[in-house]
């Protein structure tokens, strides 16, 4: 397969399920033709793994388009930024020979800053939940988005304000009071240390901070290739996901529109990336979860450990009802199927084609309701495996017959075209079908 894909207009890459399905690889691949790549939600809780000729990288804030030196990468207003983590990531990429400066990375001045108190509040809140914990990454994402909704907190652009220290002092005083209330005794943050870290971060990212919306709009209105990159997955959407086991932002096309000002109707194609099996990190229902040696085999062969936290991912058979819900509600009109090669040595594989809930069969998840999903018993369709290596296949016709049947069955069940199939982590290990 060519490492460059011919596509046009504004495209958006997201995940219809619970995240971790390989968006980073697909964005990296498509970005070789992009003019601008926009990360639209989340923060360092996202982990996008990219492997190309420059090496293997786990990206958390920097858009996965950064490996195309001709593309402009943007962190939108709706992303939350840990400045120290971002600078560490930038420096790590630079050491690997990746060019990053204000010419190819812009950061919205309206994005919120993740501060040490957000991380502390995140951890304290999770402890307080006890047995009802959500399973957050502990990166401060929920608290900073809460502050954003409350019209509080510090913005990235505040770093450049002449009165930044006064703004910082007011915020510090409030956050110390808030954290002290949470723990029941007085909490004092190290002001000088935090300010020192922020000033060091500003030295690197200061020239990159700007109002990004006019730039995004210019690229779109000029007919250039705009590529959006989501964090997490649609079933973790704050409003349409399985609340409260969700993230604090919007991974679907709705989130792309909020981040860029580009209406969903003006998006050429929304691409959903999903694996040939289903995974989830953290708490919440996973109807097809395999708590046996098969689940462990999938985890081991698929290397299903979080790029951000290192936590083992929960694994199960591909969940068609959930996938259909995510594609329909998330505005997805094309699919990419990843990690087909993980099943290369399986004698048989299964697909969940429906749920049995209270004696009634469901072909579609009616709502991302936790109680419904927790009570759902998967109805499985067993398919024969192919017991043959697929990682060297570069066209759909070269795949083993049973592998082709598996892909076509998923396509039939979801009723959305599968335009790419990934058979390995590298760019070239990708099969393109009518893209």
Query: How distant, in Å, are the alpha carbons of 3, 244, 263, 396, 424 from that of 434?
Result: 16, 38, 25, 11, 20
Q: Is the dihedral of CA 215, 219, 221, 225 positive or negative?
A: negative
Q: Which residue has the tokens 């991912």?
A: 313
Neighbours of 367 (CB within 10 A): 12
Cα–Cα distance, 122 to 424 (Å, whole number): 35
- What are the phi and psi torsion angles at 89 (to 5°)? -70, -40
Closest CA to 18 of 255, 231, 175: 231
CB-based burial label for 58 (10 Å; 0-12, 13-18, 19+): middle
Q: Which residue has the tokens 């990690």?
A: 339
Please tell me the distance from the alpha carbon of residue 2 to that of residue 161, in angstroms, as a whole number. 46
Which of 174, 138, 128, 183 has the alpha carbon at shortest distance from 153?
174
Smallest CA-to-CA distance from 242 within 279, 270, 211, 283 is with 283
User: Catalytic: which of 28, 35, 48, 118?
Assistant: 48
Bridging pattern class, strands 55-59 and 80-81 = unpaired
The span from the CA of 249 to the CA of 233, in Å, is 10
Out of 15, 20, 35, 147, which one is annotated catalytic?
Answer: 20
48 is catalytic: yes
CA–CA distance, 145 with 297 (Å, rounded to integer): 37
* Known catalytic residue at 20: yes
Half-sphere exposure of 403 (CA within 13 A, CB side): 27
Cite the active site residues: 20, 48
């Amino acid at each position: 397969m060519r490492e460059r894909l011919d596509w046009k207009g504004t495209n958006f890459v997201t995940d219809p399920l619970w995240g971790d399905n390989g968006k980073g690889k697909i964005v990296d691949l498509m970005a070789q033709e992009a003019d601008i790549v926009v990360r639209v939600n989340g923060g360092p809780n996202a982990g996008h793994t990219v492997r190309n000729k420059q090496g293997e990288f786990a990206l958390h804030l920097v858009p996965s388009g950064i490996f195309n030196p001709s593309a402009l990468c943007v962190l939108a207003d709706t992303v939350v930024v840990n400045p120290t983590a971002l600078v560490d990531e930038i420096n790590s990429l630079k050491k690997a020979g990746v060019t990053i400066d204000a010419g190819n990375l812009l950061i919205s001045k309206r994005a919120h800053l993740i501060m040490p108190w957000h991380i502390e509040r995140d951890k304290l809140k999770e402890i307080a939940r006890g047995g009802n914990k959500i399973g957050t990454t502990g990166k401060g994402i929920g608290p900073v988005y809460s502050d954003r909704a409350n019209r509080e907190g510090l913005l990235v652009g505040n770093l450049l304000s002449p009165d930044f220290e006064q703004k910082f002092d007011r915020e510090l005083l409030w956050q110390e009071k808030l954290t002290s209330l949470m723990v029941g005794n007085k909490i004092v943050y190290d002001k000088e240390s935090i300010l020192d870290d922020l000033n060091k971060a500003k030295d690197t990212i200061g020239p990159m901070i700007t109002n990004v919306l006019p730039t995004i709009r210019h690229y779109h209105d000029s007919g250039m290739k705009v590529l959006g990159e989501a964090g997490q997955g649609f079933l973790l959407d704050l409003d349409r996901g399985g609340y409260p086991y969700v993230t604090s932002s919007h991974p679907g096309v709705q989130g792309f529109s909020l981040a860029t000002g580009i209406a969903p109707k003006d998006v050429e194609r929304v691409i959903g990336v999903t694996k040939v099996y289903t995974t989830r990190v953290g708490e919440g229902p996973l109807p097809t979860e395999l708590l046996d040696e098969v689940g462990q085999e999938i985890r081991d062969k698929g290397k299903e450990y979080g790029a951000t936290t290192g936590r083992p991912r929960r694994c199960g058979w591909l969940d068609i009802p959930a996938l259909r819900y995510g594609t329909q509600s998330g505005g997805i009109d094309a699919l990419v199927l990843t990690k087909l090669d993980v099943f290369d040595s399986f004698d048989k594989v299964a697909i969940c084609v429906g749920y049995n809930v209270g004696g009634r069969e469901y072909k579609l998840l009616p709502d991302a309701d936790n109680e419904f999903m927790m009570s759902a018993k998967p109805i499985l369709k067993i398919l024969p495996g192919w017991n043959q290596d697929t990682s060297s296949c570069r066209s759909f016709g070269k795949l083993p017959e049973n592998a082709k049947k598996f892909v076509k069955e998923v396509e039939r069940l979801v009723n959305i075209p599968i335009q790419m199939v990934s058979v390995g982590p590298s760019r070239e290990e990708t099969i393109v079908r009518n893209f």
